[in-house]
C-alpha cells in the first residue's frame, strides 16, 4: 500500500518541478491561530492548513467533516450520515486532544471533552485554520494534537449598500438545503446576518440495528456587528447558533436527540502606543443535548456551558522582534439536572464547575534576515489538578533558493473531562476525581519549497502521550507513541490546479503494540480543478488504508479490521452571469461500500444540486 501511495506522489513531483505553464501558486498568507497574532505562514515551523470561504464553495461540501476529509494530519471516523457523531483524529491523537475555537472562543462539551463538528453550520463559516502539533503553550488544555479555529462570516465591503447571497438545493436522501446572507458597511460600522437550514431523511446509520432511516435537521444563525472608532479602536459583537434534531440507532434507550450549540462573544481592541496593541475578548459557549425514547418521552439531558475571557497584548520590540503577552480565564459548568431516567437519584455530578487561569508569552523573531524563531511558554492553574507549565520552540530558515528547513519541539496536556472525573456511580463504577492530566511531548522536522508554479512540503513528527486515561472506572494507565509523515504538493499545470496530500501514520499503544482505534495508517487525497470559461469543473479522490476498531456487540469485546477504500467525487458549476450560478456534485462515484467506524454505514453514491445568487 505504501508503494501504491508513494508512486503517484513521485509522478506528480517530477514533472511539476519544471512546470512553466499556468498561473503562479499563491504565496503563503497570514494566519492568526499559530501565534494568536497575525503572522506570515512562511515564517513559522508549525504545520498549518487554511480553508477560505472560496475553498468551501468551490468544493461544494455541506458539512465540516466533509471539508476536513483528506486534510493533512486529519482522519475522520463518522457513525453514519448527516449529523451523526464524528471522531476527528489530528495527527493520530484522541478526539479530545484537539482544541476547537470559534472566533477565539473555546467550544465543545464539558462532559465529553469533544466538539460536535457535524453540527456546526458550514454556511456560516468564513475561514478555518488548522494548526498541527502541540499548542498548549499558547492555549492550555486539549491542544495536544493541535488547534482548529473557525472564523464566522463577517461583512466587509467598500461601498455602503447591503450585499445579499442566497442559495437553495437538494439531493439524495431527500436532502434539502437553503441559506442566505446579508452583509455590508454603514460608515464606520459593519454587519453580517446569515441563516441556513438543512433537512435530510438520511439513511440507516447502523448495521444490525433498527432498519429505519436516521434523519437530521439543523437551523443555523450567524450575526456580527462592529464599529471602527476615529482613534483606530474597534469593538465587535458576534453570535452563532445551531439548533435541530437528530435520529440515531441505539441497542437500548433513546433514538432521537435535540441539540443546541451556541456561541456569543464580544471583542474590543486598540493601540495603547504605536508599538503596543491590546485586545480583550469575552465569550460564552453552550452545548445542550436532550435525548428521547422512541415513543417521544424524555430520556436524558446534558447541558454544559463554557465562559471565556482573554486579554492579549502585542508589543513590537523592533522590526525583527515581536512579543505577545496574554492571559486567559475559563470557567466550565455542567448545568444538567436529568442525566439518566433509568437510575433514580442519578441526576448530578459531585462537582459542577471548575476554572482554569493561564498566563502565557510568545516571542517571534527574525535573525540574520532568513532565520525565524518562535518560542512560547505558558502556566495554567486548574481548580481540579493544580498547576501545569508548557512550552514550545520552533525554528525556520527561508533560503534564497526557495528551500525552507524547519524544526520544533513542544509539550502539551489535556485536563480530564467531567465524565472522567465526576460521573455518578450507579453500581458499575463512577468517575475518578484523582485523575491526572494526560500529557505529551512532540518533536517535528521538515522542509518546504516554492519553485515557480510549485509549492511542496514534507514533515515528520514523533509524539509520546503519557498518563492516558483508560478503562472504567477511569485511571491514568496507558501510553501511546505516534509517528507520522505528512507530504503536500500543489501546482497549476496546463490550466489545471493540482493538490496532493499524503499522510502516513503509525499510532500505537506502547503496552500492547497495537495500532490505536479507528486510525488509518495511510491516506492519500488528490484534488483537481479548472475553470473553462463560464464553467468550473473538479474532481476529488480519497484513498485510505485499513483501520482497526472494536466490536462491542460481543462479550468480551473483540478487535476487528475495517478494510481500506477509494472514493471519487465529481463537481461542476456554471456561472450563468455575474449574479447567478448553478452547481452540481456527485459523491462516491464508484459506489464504494466502506466503514470508518465498525458497523456504521457511510453514504453510497449520491448527488446534490444547488442554485446560487450573489449581488
Cβ atoms of 287 and 107 within 8 Å: the answer is yes
| 6 CB burial (10 A radius; 0-12, 13-18, 19+) | middle
CB atoms within 10 A of CB 465: 27
Gap between the Cα atoms of 119 and 243, Å rounded: 8
**Residue 507 above 70 pLDDT?**
yes
Closest CA to 118 of 220, 221, 254: 220
Residue-wise pLDDT for 557-571, tens only, equals: 899 999 999 999 999
Can you name the residues that pair with 378 across neighbouring β-strands? 360, 390
For 346, the grid coordinates are: 442519578
Which of the 8 DSSP states describes residue 118? Answer: G
Q: Which residues contact 161 (CB under 8 A, 6 or more apart)?
A: 184
Which of 17-26, 76-85, 386-395, 432-441 bottoms out in mean pLDDT, i.e. has the lowest? 17-26
CA gap 517, 284 in Å, rounded: 33
> Distance (Å, rounded) from C-alpha 88 to C-alpha 72?
12
pLDDT tops 60 at residue 16: no
Domain 2-614 has CATH 2.40.170.20: yes
Q: 439 forms bridges with which residues in the sheet? A: 413, 466
Q: How far apart are CA 197 and CA 232, in angstroms?
A: 37
Cα–Cα distance measured from residue 209 to residue 83, given in angstroms and rounded to the nearest whole number: 18
Cα separation, 201 vs 209, whole angstroms: 17
Over residues 285-299, mean pLDDT: 90
Q: Bigger pLDDT: 94 or 16?
A: 94
Q: Please give the pLDDT value at position 348.
A: 75
Per residue in 101-119, pLDDT (tens digit) is 999 999 999 999 999 999 9
- Left if phi > 0, otherwise alpha if psi is -120 to 50, otherwise beta: which for 237? beta
Q: Is the pLDDT of residue 596 over 60?
A: yes
Name the percent of the chain lying above pLDDT 70. Answer: 93
Q: What pLDDT, on the 0 to 100 scale, is given for residue 75? A: 98
Query: How confident is the model over 319-339, as a mean pLDDT?
Result: 89
Residue 27 in this model has a pLDDT that exceeds 90: no
- pLDDT higher than threshold 90 for residue 346: no
Q: Are 175 and 217 in contact (CB under 8 A)?
A: no
Distance in angstroms (rounded) separating the CA atoms of residues 444 and 442: 7
- Residue 395: all three cell numbers together: 525554528
Residue 499, C-beta contacts closer than 8 angstroms, at least 6 positions apart? 488, 489, 490, 526, 527, 528
In whole angstroms, how large is the CA radius of gyration of the chain?
24
Provide mean pLDDT across the span 69-78. 96
Segment 380-398, tens digit of pLDDT: 999 998 999 999 999 999 9
Instruction: Output the pLDDT for position 2.
Output: 42
| Window from 14-18, 87-91, 118-122 with minimum mean pLDDT | 14-18
152-176 pLDDT per residue, tens: 998 766 778 899 999 999 999 999 9
Bond into 473 cis (ω within 30): yes
Give the pLDDT score at 575: 98
- 501 vs 520: CA distance, rounded Å: 14
Non-local (6+) Cβ contacts of 306 within 8 A are 105, 106, 107, 108, 110, 284, 285, 286, 330, 331, 332, 333
pLDDT at 13 over 90: no
C-alpha cell at 144: 495536544
As a whole-number percent, the residues of the chain with pLDDT over 90 amount to 82
Within 10 Å of residue 613's Cβ, how many Cβ atoms?
14
71 contacts: CB under 8 Å, gap ≥ 6:
49, 130, 501, 525
Tens digit of each residue's pLDDT (9 = 90 or more) over 184-228: 999 999 999 999 999 999 999 998 887 889 999 999 999 999 999
Amino acid at each position: 500500500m505504501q508503494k501504491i501511495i508513494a508512486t503517484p506522489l513521485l509522478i506528480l513531483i517530477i514533472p511539476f518541478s519544471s512546470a512553466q505553464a499556468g498561473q503562479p501558486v499563491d504565496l503563503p498568507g497570514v494566519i492568526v491561530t499559530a501565534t494568536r497574532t497575525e503572522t506570515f505562514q512562511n515564517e513559522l515551523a508549525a504545520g498549518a492548513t487554511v480553508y477560505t470561504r472560496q475553498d468551501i464553495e468551490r468544493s461544494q461540501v455541506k458539512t465540516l467533516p466533509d471539508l476536513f476529509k483528506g486534510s493533512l494530519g486529519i482522519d475522520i471516523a463518522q457513525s453514519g450520515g448527516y449529523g451523526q457523531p464524528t471522531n476527528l483524529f489530528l495527527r493520530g491523537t484522541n478526539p479530545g486532544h484537539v482544541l476547537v475555537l470559534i472566533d477565539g472562543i473555546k467550544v465543545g462539551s464539558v462532559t465529553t471533552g469533544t466538539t460536535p463538528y457535524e453540527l456546526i453550520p458550514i454556511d456560516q463559516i468564513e475561514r478555518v485554520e488548522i494548526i498541527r502539533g502541540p499548542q498548549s503553550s499558547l492555549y492550555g488544555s486539549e491542544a495536544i494534537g493541535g488547534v482548529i479555529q473557525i472564523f464566522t462570516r463577517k461583512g466587509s465591503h467598500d461601498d455602503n449598500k447591503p450585499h445579499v447571497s442566497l442559495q437553495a438545493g437538494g439531493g439524495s436522501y431527500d436532502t434539502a438545503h437553503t441559506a442566505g446572507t446579508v452583509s455590508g458597511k454603514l460608515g464606520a460600522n459593519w454587519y453580517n446576518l446569515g441563516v441556513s437550514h438543512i433537512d435530510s431523511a438520511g439513511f440507516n446509520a447502523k448495521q444490525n440495528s433498527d432498519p429505519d432511516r436516521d434523519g437530521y435537521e439543523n437551523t443555523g444563525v450567524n450575526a456580527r456587528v462592529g464599529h471602527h472608532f476615529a482613534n483606530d479602536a474597534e469593538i465587535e459583537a458576534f453570535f452563532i447558533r445551531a439548533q435541530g434534531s437528530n435520529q440515531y440507532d441505539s441497542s437500548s434507550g433513546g433514538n432521537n436527540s435535540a441539540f443546541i450549540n451556541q456561541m456569543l462573544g464580544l471583542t474590543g481592541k486598540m493601540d495603547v502606543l504605536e508599538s503596543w496593541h491590546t485586545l480583550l475578548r469575552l465569550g460564552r459557549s453552550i452545548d445542550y443535548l436532550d435525548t428521547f425514547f422512541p415513543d417521544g418521552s424524555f430520556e436524558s439531558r446534558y447541558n454544559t456551558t463554557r465562559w471565556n475571557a482573554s486579554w492579549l497584548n502585542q508589543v513590537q520590540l523592533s522590526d525583527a522582534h515581536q512579543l505577545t503577552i496574554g492571559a486567559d480565564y475559563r470557567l466550565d459548568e455542567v448545568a444538567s439536572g436529568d442525566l439518566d431516567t433509568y437510575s433514580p437519584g442519578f441526576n448530578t455530578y459531585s462537582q459542577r464547575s471548575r476554572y482554569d487561569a493561564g498566563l502565557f508569552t510568545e516571542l517571534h523573531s527574525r535573525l540574520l534576515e532568513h532565520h525565524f524563531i518562535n518560542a512560547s511558554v505558558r502556566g495554567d492553574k486548574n481548580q481540579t489538578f493544580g498547576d501545569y507549565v508548557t512550552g514550545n520552540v520552533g525554528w525556520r530558515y527561508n533560503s534564497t533558493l526557495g528551500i525552507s528547513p524547519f524544526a520544533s519541539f513542544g509539550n502539551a496536556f489535556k485536563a480530564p473531562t467531567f465524565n472522567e472525573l465526576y460521573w455518578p456511580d450507579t453500581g458499575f463504577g463512577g468517575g475518578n476525581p484523582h485523575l491526572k492530566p494526560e500529557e505529551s511531548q512532540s518533536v517535528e522536522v521538515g522542509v518546504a519549497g516554492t519553485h515557480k508554479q510549485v509549492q511542496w512540503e514534507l514533515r515528520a513528527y514523533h509524539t509520546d502521550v503519557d498518563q492516558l486515561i483508560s478503562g472504567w472506572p477511569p485511571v491514568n494507565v496507558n501510553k501511546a507513541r505516534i509517528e507520522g509523515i505528512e507530504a503536500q504538493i500543489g501546482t497549476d499545470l496546463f490550466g489545471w490546479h493540482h493538490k496532493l496530500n499524503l499522510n502516513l501514520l503509525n499510532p500505537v499503544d506502547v503496552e500492547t503494540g497495537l495500532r490505536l482505534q479507528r486510525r488509518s495508517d495511510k491516506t492519500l487525497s488528490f484534488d483537481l480543478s479548472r475553470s473553462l470559461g463560464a464553467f468550473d469543473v473538479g474532481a476529488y479522490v480519497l484513498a485510505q488504508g485499513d483501520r482497526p476498531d472494536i466490536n462491542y456487540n460481543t462479550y468480551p469485546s473483540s478487535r476487528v479490521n475495517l478494510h481500506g477504500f477509494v472514493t471519487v467525487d465529481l463537481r461542476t458549476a456554471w456561472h450563468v452571469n455575474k449574479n447567478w450560478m448553478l452547481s452540481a456534485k456527485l459523491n462516491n462515484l464508484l459506489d464504494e461500500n466502506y466503514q470508518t467506524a465498525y458497523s456504521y454505514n457511510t453514504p453510497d453514491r449520491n448527488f446534490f444540486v444547488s442554485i446560487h445568487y450573489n449581488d
